[in-house]
Amino acid sequence: MINKFFSFKWFAPVAVMAIVGCNNQSKQAAADNTLSDAEVKDGWKLLFDGKTTTGWRAYNGKTIPAGWSIEDGALKTSGTAHDAIGGDIVYGEEPYENFELTADWKISKGGNSGIFYHIVEDTQYHAPYETAPEYQVIDDIGFPEKLEDWQKAGVDYAMYTPTAEKVLKPVGEWNHSRIV
């Protein structure tokens, strides 16, 4: 069976909080890991409640891989995966096709991560990058290798370069991203 989901890959410590997705263009600010009445009315769905990993699991798996935890209301990984396969998580309660995803994230010095979307899960695939576009989450300044523009934070990896409006906060501070 082939399904499309959201996935997150993490190669270095990173944290995500207040992940929500919806098909509506309006969104009012809400407290972390909650939805306002207006957001609920507009059809937003909270993908992470700040307390549990409900709805999340390994890519092509049933449970959360080792190394993931919840700290201070944020979903966090220890960054112990040393290759591209094995640490990816998927939000798999239901598939999404047309959506708007917002997420707050921060990354550690030298970190490399990403948010995959339109994931295809099937046993013929070993990792999300084989099937899905990736919103890049990376330390543009402290990553140990030279980055091309198409590899930097906020790009659709290897597809589009960053826009002039891109504003990143320093390593360890929260950034806000939106995928439409």
- The sign of the torsion formed by the CA atoms of 127, 130, 135, 138 equals positive
Spatial neighbors of 14 by CB under 8 A, at least 6 apart, are 76, 77, 79, 105, 106, 107, 108, 111, 113, 137
Q: Which domains does the chain possess?
A: 3-179 (2.60.120.560)
Beta bridge partners of 112: 138
SS3 (DSSP) at 128: helix
Compute the C-alpha angle 77/79/85, nearest 5°: 100
Model confidence at 80, pLDDT cuts 50, 70, 90, reads low
| Token pair listed for 69 | 């935890």
pLDDT tens, position by position, 24-67: 334 434 478 888 899 889 888 889 999 999 999 999 999 998 88
pLDDT tens, position by position, 105-153: 999 999 888 999 999 999 999 888 899 999 999 999 999 999 999 999 9
- How far is 159 from 174, CA to CA, in rounded Å? 25
